[in-house]
A and B are shown apart, each in its own frame.
Chain A
């Protein structure tokens, strides 16, 4: 079945470091990729939607200069957390979809980011 690979699965780094997270669709072309951030309890916040070849659409309240998203090809999207601070520590998860809305969506396994 379709697989989305998210890498790395866990990052621990110092404050001020920039961290890049990759999301790859391994056996299908992902026209749309989503980036989510998990908050305590059960909330999963949509950060941005990226479509291949165009700029990401950021949700309100998400700093685009802080969270750089690039969807350079139909199989790869990256999220770069620039100058990360402890409050950026969270679980980030990507998902990918081929085609229109309401099509199956495939999720990566997530990245646990810890900023010291």
Chain B
């Protein structure tokens, strides 16, 4: 079974609007971390936001917030006030902390911000 599922291969959003990128995960570990990365065309992975499995509050970092629903095993990324520079690939990832810090990635969502 896929550990990380990103069901939206491509998304479009109007500039200044908010957009939600979906991510669901599968783990039996109690201790894990969820990450979102932005990948511009250069291939680098820019860390955006992190949510620990024991964190009670949803993580926020500037315009990025993570809608963490533990029971549903979802960790959607919300980008508010989209900017043209937000156009990129976005990857959701999970690290299982009780199994040697194994890292799992989704296949990514391509976000295009329309002026």
Residues on the B chain within 8 Å of A2, using CB: 107
- Interface residue A80 (Cβ < 8 Å from any Cβ of B): no
Q: A42-B50, A102-B110 are in contact. Are A34 and B102 (CB under 8 A)?
A: no
Q: Are A105 and B45 in contact (CB under 8 A)?
A: no
Q: Judging by beta carbons under 8 Å apart, are B107 and A104 in contact?
A: yes
- Give the number of residue pairs across the A-B interface with Cβ within 8 Å: 52
A84 at the interface (CB under 8 A from B): no
> Which of B37, B89, B101, B104 is close to A44, meaning CB atoms less than 8 Å apart?
B37
B42 touches A107 (CB 8 A): no
Contact of B103 among A10, A38, A59 (CB under 8 A): A38
Q: Which of B35, B37, B91, B100 meets A112, CB within 8 Å?
A: B100
Contacts of B107 in A (CB 8 A): 2, 104-106
Q: Please name all residues of chain A whose beta carbon is closer than 8 Å to the beta carbon of B50 when the two chains form the complex.
A: 42
Q: Are A101 and B2 in contact (CB under 8 A)?
A: no
The CA-CA distance from A44 to B89 in the complex, in Å, is: 15
- Interface size counted on chain B using CB atoms at 8 A: 24
Q: Which secondary structure dominates where chain B touches chain A?
A: strand
In the assembled complex, how far is the CB of residue A63 from the closest CB belonging to chain B, in whole angstroms? 18
CB contacts (< 8 Å) of B47 on chain A: these are 42-44
- The prevalent SS among residues of A at the interface is strand
* A59 near B102: Cβ-Cβ < 8 Å: no
Nearest residue (CB) in A for B88 is A102
B residues near A34, Cβ cutoff 8 Å: 43
Check A46/B105 contact, CB under 8 A, given A102-B89, A102-B110, A105-B89.
Answer: no
B101 touches A36 (CB 8 A): no
Q: Which residues of A contact B44 (CB under 8 A)?
A: 45-46, 59
